């Protein structure tokens, strides 16, 4: 006959296997799993801790983008932006060593030890427009669409480099998904229409 502790652990593992992807401590507790069982599974190697308060089953499929999924799980109101978004959309040769994350101006700064974050504070309109939701490693990740990311890149060209913005525009053009109307709309929202227009005219 199984001991109560073993029965609780087996039940917890069964529940966690059904919850694919990453789970925060609060999510695990919400599933009815006692903290004692959670830590016992971690100590036994059944549960992998991938960050502070962030877990996944040890035998799960390898994570495809652990940095983005970890940040999205811990900071669900943030939006992946700039170089991280450019890399996600395959519009840059840059390799981000931080996760570039947009937060709405006035919101509380996230406390995250890892992965490292580079925060950008957007006004309400600029923050809310152009957000796409993608499922990565079982987590809903909010990322700005290619057109919004391009407009942001020109807006923050002094922080990330004009060469990065121009490379992104070139790659966007080569991808044959050019949507000039959307680009101009986001350029207006980000107040960089005058900056972007000469470059847009040169590729049309």
At residue 78, the pLDDT reads 94
Q: 152-163, pLDDT tens digit by residue?
A: 999 999 999 999
Which pTM value belongs to this model?
0.75
Across the beta sheet with 131-136, what order do the strands follow? 117-122, 99-104, 79-80, 139-144, 131-136
Minimum mean pLDDT range among 67-71, 77-81, 142-146, 168-172: 67-71
At residue 82, the pLDDT reads 97
**More confident of the two residues 29 and 154:** 154
Q: State the average pLDDT over residues 20-46.
A: 73
Alpha-carbon distance 136 to 56, whole Å? 14
> What secondary structure, in 3-state letters, does the chain show?
CCCHHHHHHHHHHHHHHHCCCCEEHHHHHHCCCCHHHHHHHHHHCCEEEEECCEEEECCCCCCCCHHHHHHHHHCCCCEECHHHHHHHCCCCCCCCCCEEEEEECCCCCCCCCCCCEEEEEECHHHHHCCEEEEEECCEEEEEECHHHHHHHHHHCHHHHCHHHHHHHHHHHHHCCCCCHHHHHHHHHHCCCHHHHHHHHHHHC
Q: 62-92, pLDDT tens digit by residue?
A: 666 778 888 888 888 999 999 999 999 999 9
Alpha-carbon distance 158 to 117, whole Å? 19
Q: State the average pLDDT over residues 108-133.
A: 88
At residue 158, the pLDDT reads 95
At residue 6, the pLDDT reads 54
pLDDT reading at 2 higher than 60 = no
Alpha-carbon distance 96 to 47, whole Å? 28
Q: State the average pLDDT over residues 85-111.
A: 91
**Residue 204: which pLDDT band, with cuts at 50, 70 and 90?**
low
pLDDT reading at 4 higher than 50 = no
Q: 7-18, pLDDT tens digit by residue?
A: 666 776 666 666
pLDDT reading at 48 higher than 50 = yes
Is 66-203 assigned to CATH 1.10.10?
A: no
Give the chain's largest Cα–Cα span: 76
10 contact partners, CB below 8 Å, separation of at least 6 = 2
**Residue 1: which pLDDT band, with cuts at 50, 70 and 90?**
very low
């Amino acid at each position: 006959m199984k001991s109560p502790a073993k029965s609780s652990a087996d039940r917890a593992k069964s529940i966690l296997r059904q919850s694919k992807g990453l789970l925060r401590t609060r999510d695990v507790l919400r599933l009815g799993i006692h903290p004692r069982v959670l830590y016992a599974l971690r100590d036994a190697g059944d549960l992998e801790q991938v960050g502070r308060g962030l877990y996944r089953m040890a035998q799960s499929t390898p994570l495809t983008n652990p940095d983005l999924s970890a940040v999205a799980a811990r900071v669900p109101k943030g939006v992946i932006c700039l170089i991280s978004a450019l890399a996600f959309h395959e519009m840059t040769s840059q390799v981000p060593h931080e996760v570039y994350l947009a937060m709405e101006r006035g919101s509380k700064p996230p406390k995250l030890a890892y992965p490292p974050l580079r925060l950008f504070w957007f006004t309400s309109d600029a923050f809310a427009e152009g957000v796409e939701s993608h499922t990565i490693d079982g987590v809903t990740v909010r990322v700005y669409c290619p057109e919004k990311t391009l407009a942001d890149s020109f807006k923050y060209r002094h922080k990330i480099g004009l060469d990065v913005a121009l490379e992104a525009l070139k790659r966007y053009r080569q991808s044959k998904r050019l949507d000039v109307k959307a680009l101009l709309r986001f350029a207006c929202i980000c107040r960089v229409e005058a900056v972007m227009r000469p470059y847009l005219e040169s590729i049309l």
